[in-house]
Amino acid sequence: MDFKTNIAYRKEMLIKLLNNVLLHENEIIDALYQDFKKPAFEAVLTETSYVVSELKDTIKNIKKWSKPKAVLPSILNFPSRDFIYKEPYGKVLIIAPWNYPYQLAMCPLISAIAAGNQVVLKPSELTPKTSEVLAKIIALTFRPEHASVVQGGVDVSKELLAQRWDYIFFTGSVPVGKIVAAAAAVHLTPVTLELGGKNPCIVDETANLKLAAKRIVWGKFINAGQTCIAPDYILVQKDMKEQFIKHLKEEITAAYGLTPKTSPDYSRIINLKNWSRLTELIEPDKVIFGGQTDESDCYIAPTLIAESNLDSLIMQDEIFGPLLPILTYASNADLHTIISRYEKPLSMYIFTENKAFASQMIANYSFGGGCINDTVVHFSNKRLPFGGVGHSGIGAYHGSLSFDVFSHSKGIVKKANWLDLPMRYAPYGDKLKTIRKFLKWL
Ligand code: NAD
C-alpha cells in the first residue's frame, strides 16, 4: 500500500486534505454553531485555524520527521552507524469527543496519516452536524481503506473497540478511557488516552488580580466551560478573595454583557443530559454571580460559586461546564490538602508574581501541563507536549511529537564488516579482566 512506504504520496494526500479543509471551513463553522452555538470566533480560533496550522506544519515537516535519524553509535558496536527508523503502526482507531469535535478528531488523524497509517475515525455522536461535514471531508480526500469515518454512538464505539487495532488514540472522559484501555489490553494494543480531571487554578497574594480574573474568565467560559483544560476550581489566597471576586464579576460582564444569554459569544451546553447534570451541581445559596439557567435552550450562565466544602457535589468530579467554584487557602498546607485530594489533573494554573512559589508548585505537583499567569494557552504551542498524567491520561501529542505518537521507533545498528573485534566471542578464556576494565572505562 503506497501510503505505508511512500512519503511523497502521504504528503500529496495531506495537501489534498488541506484543500478540502479550506474549502469546507465555513460549513464546519456553521455546523459547530448548529451543534451547540459555538461562536464563529471560537470556532476559528480553537478549531478550524488550529487544524489548518497543524496541516501546514505537518506538510512542511513530513520529509524531515519521517527520515531515519542518525544517533551516536555505541563504542561496544564499533564500527557501526546507528539509526532510528519511523515505522507506521498499521491500523489506527481514533475516537473523538464532542467539545472540540473538529480539531480533536482532525489533528490526530493528520498525524496518523503523516506517519503512514490507515485510519478509522469515530467522531462524537453528540455533534452530528460537525461529524457529518468531517465525514464528507475525509470521504472526498481519501480512499476508504486509507482513512474513513464511522459515525455512531456508544454501541458503534464498542464494536470498533472489539476489533484488533495496531494503535488506539482516544480523547474523552476518564471512565470511558478505562473501557478503551481494557479493550486495548486484550490485543496489547498501544494507546494514547487524552482524558480530563479537576484542574486547580491558584491565585496567590502577589497575583495581578485584575489580569488574572480576565484570563481565568476567558479560559473558563470559552466553549461555556466545556474544555478539558478549563480551570475547574479556584484556590485564592483568603485575603484576596473579595477583591478577586469583584474582578471576576467585572470581567464576566465585560465579556458577555449583563445578560450572557443574549451574547453571540457564549456557547450552549451540549445536551439536556449535561445541562441537568450541571444544574444539579448548583446550590442556590452558594451562587455569588450568575446561576441563571434555561432548559429549553440548554443555557447556563457563567456562574461563580462560593465553596468551602470539599464534600459538596460540585467538588467531586470534573465540572466540564460554566460553573466556577471559588475556594480559599491560607497556607501551602491548605493548598496541599485540597489539590492532593484529587487524581493528577490535566492542567494546573498558577497566578503569582512570586517566581519561587511558581517553581515550587510546578515541582511539587504532578499534572499534565499548564501556565503561570494564564489559562489554557499552553495548548496552542506545538512545541509543548499536550497530554495528561495518571488519571488525566497516557501519552502526549502536538507538533512533531504527534508524528512520533503514531510511529513505532525502530532502532537499527548498521555494522561494518571491515573490522570484527574478537573480544565478545567465546571461548572467553581470560578475557573477563579485560572486559571489566573496558566496561568500567565506558
Ligand atoms: P466521552 O468519554 O463520553 O466520549 C468520548 C468518545 O467515546 C465519544 O466518541 C463516545 O461515542 C465514545 N464513548 C462514550 N461512551 C463509550 C463507551 N461506554 N464505550 C466506548 N466508547 C464510548 O467524552 P465526551 O463527553 O465526548 O468528552 C468529555 C470528556 O472528554 C471530558 O472528561 C473532557 O475532559 C475529556 N476531554 C479530554 C481532552 C484532552 O485532550 N485530554 C479533550 C477534550 C475532552
Cβ(168)–Cβ(191) under 8 Å? yes
Query: How far is residue 347's CA from residue 216's CA, in Å, rounded to a whole number?
Result: 13
**In ligand 1, which atom is closest to the CA atom of 270?**
25
**In ligand 1, which atom is closest to the CA atom of 100?**
43
319 ligand 1 Cβ < 6 A: no
Same domain, residue pair 173 and 226: no
How far from chain centre, in Å, is Cα 189?
20
Same domain, residue pair 146 and 265: no
Same domain, residue pair 377 and 394: no
Residue 194 among the catalytic residues: yes
Please tell me the total count of domains within the chain: 2
- Nearest protein CA to atom 37 of ligand 1, as residue: 195
99 ligand 1 Cβ < 6 A: yes
Cβ(225)–Cβ(322) under 8 Å? yes
How far is the centre of ligand 1, averaged over its atoms, from the C-alpha of 174 (Å)?
Answer: 8
Query: How far is residue 355's CA from residue 372's CA, in Å, rounded to a whole number?
Result: 9
Question: What pLDDT sits at residue 340?
Answer: 96
Which domain, by its residues, includes 368? Answer: 200-381
Instruction: Report the CATH number that the domain containing residue 146 is assigned in CATH.
Output: 3.40.605.10
**In ligand 1, which atom is closest to the CA atom of 95?**
9
Cβ(203)–Cβ(209) under 8 Å? yes
Same domain, residue pair 360 and 401: no
Question: What pLDDT sits at residue 296?
Answer: 97
Same domain, residue pair 188 and 245: no
Same domain, residue pair 37 and 178: yes
Same domain, residue pair 229 and 315: yes
How far from chain centre, in Å, is Cα 428?
53
pLDDT in tens, 210-252: 999 999 999 999 999 999 999 999 999 999 999 999 999 999 9
Same domain, residue pair 355 and 370: yes
Encode 114-142: b = buried (16+ Cβ within 10 Å), e = exposed.
bbbbbbbbbbbebbebbbbbbbebbeebb
**Residue 312 within any structural domain of the chain:** yes
Question: What pLDDT sits at residue 441?
Answer: 80
- Nearest protein CA to atom 15 of ligand 1, as residue: 154
**In ligand 1, which atom is closest to the CA atom of 388?**
41
pLDDT in tens, 349-373: 999 999 999 999 999 999 999 999 9
pLDDT in tens, 114-138: 999 999 999 999 999 999 999 999 9
144 ligand 1 Cβ < 6 A: no
Cβ(43)–Cβ(100) under 8 Å? no
pLDDT in tens, 370-409: 999 999 999 999 999 999 999 999 999 999 999 999 999 9
Tell me the best of 124, 159, 173, 220 to mutate to test the pocket of ligand 1, counting ligand atoms within 8 Å of each CB and taking the most: 173
Query: How far is residue 166's CA from residue 91's CA, in Å, rounded to a whole number?
Result: 5
The C-alpha cell that represents 180 in the structure block = 478503551
- Nearest protein CA to atom 13 of ligand 1, as residue: 154
**Residue 367 within any structural domain of the chain:** yes
Tell me the best of 131, 161, 228, 398 to mutate to test the pocket of ligand 1, counting ligand atoms within 8 Å of each CB and taking the most: 228
**Residue 372 within any structural domain of the chain:** yes
pLDDT band at 442 (very low <50, low <70, confident <90, very high): confident
Same domain, residue pair 238 and 366: yes
Question: What pLDDT sits at residue 1?
Answer: 61
Same domain, residue pair 42 and 148: yes
Query: How far is residue 144's CA from residue 146's CA, in Å, rounded to a whole number?
Result: 5
**Residue 429 within any structural domain of the chain:** no
317 ligand 1 Cβ < 6 A: no
Cβ(107)–Cβ(402) under 8 Å? yes
Same domain, residue pair 105 and 56: yes
Instruction: Report the CATH number that the domain containing residue 346 is assigned in CATH.
Output: 3.40.309.10
102 ligand 1 Cβ < 6 A: no
pLDDT in tens, 184-214: 999 999 999 999 999 999 999 999 999 999 9
Residue 332 has pLDDT above 80, yes or no: yes
**Residue 440 within any structural domain of the chain:** no
217 ligand 1 Cβ < 6 A: no
**In ligand 1, which atom is closest to the CA atom of 180?**
20
Catalytic residue among 47, 54, 194, 343: 194
**Residue 430 within any structural domain of the chain:** no
**Residue 418 within any structural domain of the chain:** no
194 ligand 1 Cβ < 6 A: yes
The C-alpha cell that represents 25 in the structure block = 471551513
Same domain, residue pair 281 and 217: yes
**Residue 438 within any structural domain of the chain:** no
158 ligand 1 Cβ < 6 A: yes
How far is the centre of ligand 1, averaged over its atoms, from the C-alpha of 220 (Å)?
Answer: 19
206 ligand 1 Cβ < 6 A: no
Cβ(232)–Cβ(200) under 8 Å? yes
pLDDT band at 440 (very low <50, low <70, confident <90, very high): confident
Cβ(52)–Cβ(137) under 8 Å? no
